[in-house]
């Protein structure tokens, strides 16, 4: 640590001391958390201190902590809340995880059944959807109880701190505001006409039943390496400064049971992909390719948050799909479906989450029936009345453990899709290197990321939704154009 020539301690010295104190204790220790709160308050008092070179590895984290500083309580109250909240969270998540220890309620049963909904046969798709929701219905009673208990715990903690919007914590962690998240959701809700147009167009080709929602047009199967190479070529053509890195990222993609970025034993970054040799699968590979490239190129010592990380991945998939859909109807359908699902269906999950919290806040019993009704209402709004939503899919929420383990996370895909569309609109070729620089910045705050991309405040929301209109209508024209 550099000190002044007179030996006086600087605000950066104070923060570094607090961080060193915190590191002496394990995660969950009240002394560790108290030291971190002292660091948060110090940065809140002098925001510029986070830019000190000695704190570079914690810059983004310190800024997020400092944003929450106004809501911090005294150490005694914080310790009390931490003990109570951990007990509730541990107990409820144990109940949720225990469902996977029993074959009838294991999430694997629903996931396995769901694989059938992209089968060419409508009858097979319908049976697969029915089996999926029979499995989720068996999980629903316990899952409803868990969601209610966790929401009650969250709201009680918020009340103690004077927090009004339950999404405030997620916003702080990601480096944005709850107001921006709400504006984003409002904008997507106002764009529901675009969803209706897309569902109507694609239904004419592949069916209008709910069980038809992921089926695509037939296309020659492709290997994982082919899909990865296509993503590298598409992204590299837009980001010439990262073209060689894109090729390297493509070589670091492996088949696996999950879609995840991993650090191998030798310290190298790679990704595993649960690959499907379809056009929809090609976009999933491109999505994971985006995560891989981001991890390889990031200069920040901190990983990106969900909003920033998912934006790069969704942008990669969008760029890859756009590079192929000019003559490929199957990829065009897959791209439109991916955009609509990650935007409007993910927004439906966020609306459902809000409803869970509203039920708890109002003191209304959080029953399976109440959650089924909320889920059906949100899904019917997402599909804009074009697709018939059967009542027996009401338990779909019980297939999403992330509602309990990562509250608020679903909005990441809403944010990422809209911002990715805005990036493509403003920087279609990145000749000035703005997109490459933002990717290289790594783990920056979400609002800092949009600023690096050249957007002023929240203007990217309107720009992204305008780009969505152009994109979905272009894809619809591609699908409805008469055959040559």
Is the separation of the CB atoms in 134 and 128 below 8 Å?
Answer: no
Q: How confident is the model at residue 103, as a pLDDT?
A: 93
Q: What angle do CA 196, 112, 217 make, to 5 degrees?
A: 45
Tokens describing residue 36: 């971190």
Mark residue 106 as left, alpha or beta (left: phi above 0; alpha: psi -120 to 50; beta: remaining). Answer: beta
Tokens describing residue 120: 């060419």
Helix (H, G, I), strand (E, B) or coil at 270: strand
In terms of Cβ atoms closer than 10 Å to its own Cβ (0-12, 13-18, 19+), residue 448 is middle
Is the separation of the CB atoms in 334 and 278 below 8 Å?
Answer: yes
What is the per-residue pLDDT across 121-131, written as a single tens digit (0 to 9) for each?
999 999 999 99
Digit-by-digit pLDDT tens for the chain (484 residues) are 444 445 678 889 999 999 999 999 998 888 999 999 999 999 999 999 988 998 988 888 898 899 999 999 999 999 999 999 999 999 999 999 999 999 999 999 999 999 899 899 999 999 999 999 999 999 999 999 999 999 999 999 999 999 999 999 999 999 999 999 999 999 999 999 999 999 999 999 999 999 999 999 988 899 999 999 999 999 999 999 999 999 999 999 999 888 888 777 666 788 899 999 999 999 999 999 999 999 999 888 788 999 999 999 999 999 999 998 656 889 999 999 999 999 999 999 999 999 999 999 999 999 999 999 999 999 999 999 899 999 999 999 999 999 999 999 999 999 999 999 999 999 999 989 999 999 999 989 999 999 999 999 999 999 999 999 999 999 999 888 765 4
* CA–CA gap between residue 280 and residue 117 (Å, rounded): 13
What is the per-residue pLDDT across 92-124, written as a single tens digit (0 to 9) for each?
999 999 999 999 999 999 999 998 998 999 999
In terms of Cβ atoms closer than 10 Å to its own Cβ (0-12, 13-18, 19+), residue 482 is exposed
Q: Which sign does the torsion angle of CA 268, 322, 129, 349 carry?
A: positive
Q: Which CATH number fits domain 163-484: 1.10.1370.20, 3.40.50.300, 3.40.50.150, 3.90.1640.10?
A: 1.10.1370.20
**pTM of the entire structure?**
0.93
């Amino acid at each position: 640590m550099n000190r002044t020539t007179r030996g006086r301690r600087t605000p950066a010295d104070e923060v570094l001391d607090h961080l060193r104190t915190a590191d002496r204790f394990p995660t969950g220790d009240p002394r560790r958390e108290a030291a971190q709160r002292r660091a948060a308050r110090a940065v809140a008092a002098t925001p510029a201190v986070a830019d000190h070179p000695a704190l570079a590895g914690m810059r983004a984290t310190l800024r997020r902590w400092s944003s929450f500083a106004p809501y911090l309580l005294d150490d005694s109250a914080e310790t009390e809340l931490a003990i109570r909240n951990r007990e509730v969270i541990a107990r409820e998540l144990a109940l949720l995880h225990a469902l996977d220890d029993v074959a009838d309620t294991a999430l694997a049963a629903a996931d396995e059944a769901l694989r059938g909904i992209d089968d060419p046969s409508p009858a097979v798709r319908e049976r697969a959807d029915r089996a999926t929701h029979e499995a989720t219905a068996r999980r629903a009673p316990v899952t409803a109880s868990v969601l209610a208990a966790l929401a009650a715990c969250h709201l009680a903690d918020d009340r103690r701190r004077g927090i009004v919007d339950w999404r405030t914590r997620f916003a702080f962690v990601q480096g944005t505001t709850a107001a921006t998240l709400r504006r984003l959701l409002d904008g997507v809700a106002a764009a529901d006409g675009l969803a209706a147009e897309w569902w109507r167009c694609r239904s004419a080709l592949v069916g209008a039943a709910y069980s038809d929602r992921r089926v695509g047009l037939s296309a020659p199967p492709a290997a994982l390496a082919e899909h990865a190479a296509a993503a590298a070529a598409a992204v590299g053509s837009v980001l010439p400064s990262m073209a060689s890195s894109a090729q390297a990222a493509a070589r670091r993609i492996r088949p696996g049971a999950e879609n995840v970025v991993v650090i191998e034993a030798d310290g190298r970054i790679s990704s595993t992909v649960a690959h499907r040799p379809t056009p929809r699968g090609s976009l999933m590979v491109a999505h994971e390719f985006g995560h891989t490239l981001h991890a390889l190129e990031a200069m920040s010592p901190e990983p990106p948050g969900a909003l920033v990380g998912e934006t790069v991945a969704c942008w990669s998939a969008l760029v890859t799909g756009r590079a192929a859909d000019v003559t490929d109807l199957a990829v065009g359908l897959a791209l439109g479906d991916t955009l609509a699902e990650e935007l409007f269906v993910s927004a439906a999950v966020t609306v459902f989450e809000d409803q869970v919290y509203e039920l708890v806040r109002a003191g209304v019993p959080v029953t399976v029936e109440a959650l089924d009704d909320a889920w059906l209402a949100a899904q019917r709004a997402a599909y804009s009345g074009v697709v018939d939503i059967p009542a027996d899919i009401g338990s779909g929420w019980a297939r999403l453990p992330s509602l309990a383990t990562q509250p608020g996370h679903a909005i990441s895909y809403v944010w990422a899709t809209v911002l990715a569309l805005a990036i493509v609109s403003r920087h279609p070729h990145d000749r000035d290197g703005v997109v490459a620089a933002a990717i290289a910045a790594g783990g920056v705050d979400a609002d800092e990321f949009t600023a690096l991309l050249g957007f002023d405040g929240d203007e990217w929301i309107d720009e992204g939704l305008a780009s969505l209109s152009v994109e979905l209508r272009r894809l619809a024209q591609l699908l409805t154009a008469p055959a040559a």
